[in-house]
Amino acid sequence: MFDFLGKLWRFVSPYKGRLILGALCGVCFALSNGVLILAIKTVVNLVFAESAVSVADELKKAPGFLQPVVGALAQWIPKLESPSSKTGVVLLVAAIPAIVLLRGVFGYLNAYLMTWAGARAIADLRTRLFEHLQNLSLSFFDKSRTGDLISRITNDTQVLYGIVANSFSSLVKDPVTILVLVGIMIYQQPLLTGISLVVLPGCLLPILAYGRRVRKSAKAMQGHLAELTSLMHESFTGNRIVKAYNLEPTVLSQFQAFMRKYVNHIMRVVRANEMPSLLTEFAGSNGVALVLIYVAVHRQEASLPGDFLACVLS
């Protein structure tokens, strides 16, 4: 993975300005997820509190890095200190849609900028590959199949573009999001977090195991696509020879054989993609069951509803 990213960096580096800006937007997206969960947790605790609680007192329970913001809000809106005032609750509730909107903007900018840089890098790679082939000797073209060369420039680079388009936007955003959410879980409910993470190995092992099968089948699919492109090119450009010797059934049988192999590999990829989801959901349901059993057994030690909800949302 890191070797692949290192090789790709040579093509992405000319666009590192947008790449870095997209990565920063991904970090902001991840942080906004944490802020959103903390805002929902605070609102739930205030709305379902058994006795009147001021917004300022509830906000003081926020993590330490947010305390300067809490202090500024308390000075800016004095009514936050009053348990009977609903101004703070209304402002907090109104902040939730604003945070969601801001989160969506950061997510859009992250996906757009990172994918833009990746697409430009793949376009440069395709151009350099075409230029390299143009400068090769005639003997190389005599030994190579035209369809195979076309497949290398079109199909192979298109698959690479698909990988970059799908993974570049998540390269920074998803890891930071996981760290932020796990941090919130540990801060809110360390014991429940430990219980829920017991099933983590059961979620990761299927992904790692079936990931190898996906890579193997995807590599075989690319080989079959190259052979298929070569067969079509030869049959179309040599159509006179095919008709002169009545080779249509032979060419058709070869085409059908390639398509059967291609479909078999597609189904292998589908099985390898779907099985981890099934096993991961099963392992995750076990984690949820363990958490609910713990809450049921230790009901008298239960925390505020917002704290538990924040842990579940994380």
pLDDT in tens, 133-160: 888 888 888 787 777 788 778 777 777 7
- Distance (Å, whole) CA 73 – CA 58: 13
Buried b (16+ CB within 10 A) or exposed e, 153-178: eebbbeebbeebbeebbebbbeebbe
140, 98 contact by CB (below 8 A) = no
Domain 1-188 identical in fold to domain 189-314: yes
Note the maximum CA span of the chain.
94
> With left for phi above 0 and alpha for psi between -120 and 50, is residue 246 left, alpha or beta?
left
How far lies 289's CA from each of 76, 194, 283, 285, in Å? 44, 14, 10, 6
pTM, rounded to two decimals: 0.71
**Euclidean distance between the first and the last CA atom of the chain, given in angstroms as a whole number:** 27
> Is the pLDDT at 88 greater than 60, yes or no?
yes
CATH match of 1-188 with 1.20.1560.10: yes
Backbone dihedral angles phi then psi of residue 21, each to the nearest 5 degrees = -65, -40
- Residue 84 pLDDT > 50: no
pLDDT in tens, 213-230: 777 777 777 777 777 778
Cα 39 to Cα 310: distance, rounded to the nearest angstrom: 9
User: Domains of the chain: which residue ranges?
Assistant: 1-188, 189-314
Asked if residue 74 lies in contact with residue 56, where contact means CB atoms within 8 angstroms, the answer is: yes
Give 238-290 pLDDT, tens digit per residue. Answer: 888 888 888 888 888 988 888 888 888 788 878 777 777 777 777 777 777 77
Architecture of domain 189-314: Up-down Bundle (1.20)
Closest C-alpha among 234, 219, 217, 231 to residue 156 = 219
Question: For residue 22, which amino acid is it?
Answer: G
